Amino acid sequence: MLALGKLLELTLAGREPAEKTQLTVDGVRMRWLGEGALEVRPPDARDNGLDLLLSAGIHGNETAPIELLDGLLHDIARGDLKPRARILFLFGNPEAIRRGERYLEQDVNRLFNGRHELSSGPEALRACELERLAATFFSVPDRTRLHYDLHTAIRGSKIEQFALYPFKEGREHSSHELARLEAAGMEAVLLQSKPSITFSAYTYEQLGAEAFTLELGKARPFGHNEQVNLAPLETRLKQIIQGNEPDLGEPRRLKQFRVAREVIKHSDAFRLHLPTDVENFSELPQGYLLAEDLAECRWIVEEEGARIIFPNPKVKNGLRAGILIVPA
């Protein structure tokens, strides 16, 4: 297997490869772009016009999707997987991956769409670098652009695998992409209704890609992901890479939700009135006092069929401590 196929091994060791460019026996070009970043380019005769960005490890302890991308790269380097798409593989936060921690100082996935310019430190620099790599990759005109940013969650979930679909004013969500998500094993999708500061929001809003954050189960250490079923996603990614996807109809079973409200933590006095082990997509009754903060700021559930996702009272002041969602 070509050495560049071992991008994860290089990243974990903090090493640069001796050769920055290598060719597989089928003429697929692999090019190292920097730490945790590798471009794969098929021969021109096989290129089908798709630019596919696959990112994982934006949070360093979310190992199942990192292992998935590592396996895809191994298959390409051995010649077992024959791409027809250009692909950019990104491991988002290398130092956090090496330490097995979610992040070092700041959550990288809250530093996109210009937020890194308001901050400092290694993760702000890394967010800027990821934006640059993505923008360069998606700069070729007249090509289809697709980005999957792969994650696992801090906590369990009533719906284990789901997607977040970013928002941009005047742009419609794609039923074709929703059907593709369902075929990849996603059980639900959250259709966002305002701009965001995540990586997938950046590539969707600024670079014109179809882009998604995929939540794939619960975060576990390397080598302990047997309970995370990535088989449907792996199969679909291989089909996308090889350009042999089966025809997609309309999504039939994919549950769709929309954001009702975001719960923002304003101060250290913030209190979230939920059990510490509450699962994503837990239902909340109308009238429930969800959270409180200074100046008699209170979040009371008014919406019918409301559920909570990403509850986290430990975020920094000014950031989102949870999302109230309802069926779309």
Tell me the per-residue pLDDT of 5-41, one tens digit each, with 9 for 90 and over: 999 999 999 999 999 999 999 999 999 999 999 999 9
Which residues of the chain are in CATH 2.40.50.630 domains?
Answer: 257-327
**CA-based torsion, 235, 241, 246, 248: positive or negative:** positive
Mapped onto helix, strand or coil, the DSSP state of residue 179 is helix
- Edge-to-edge, what's the strand order for the sheet holding 289-293? 271-272, 289-293, 297-300
Mapped onto helix, strand or coil, the DSSP state of residue 3 is helix
CATH top-level class of 3-242: alpha beta
Strands (E), the chain: 21-23, 29-34, 37-41, 50-56, 86-91, 144-153, 162-165, 188-191, 210-218, 255-264, 271-272, 282-283, 289-293, 297-300, 307-309, 320-327
Which residues of the chain are in CATH 3.40.630.10 domains?
Answer: 3-242
Catalytic residues: 215
CA 199, 202, 205, 207: dihedral to nearest 10 degrees?
-110
Determine if residue 59 is labeled as part of a ligand binding site: yes
Burial class from Cβ neighbours inside 10 Å (0-12, 13-18, 19+) for residue 25 reads exposed
Tell me the per-residue pLDDT of 90-147, one tens digit each, with 9 for 90 and over: 999 999 999 999 999 999 999 999 899 988 999 999 999 999 999 999 999 999 999 9
Average pLDDT value for residue range 163-192: 96
Considering the segment(s) 257-327 as one domain, its CATH architecture is Beta Barrel (2.40)
Q: pTM for the complete prediction?
A: 0.94
Taken as a whole, the chain contains a residue count of 328
Determine if residue 62 is labeled as part of a ligand binding site: yes
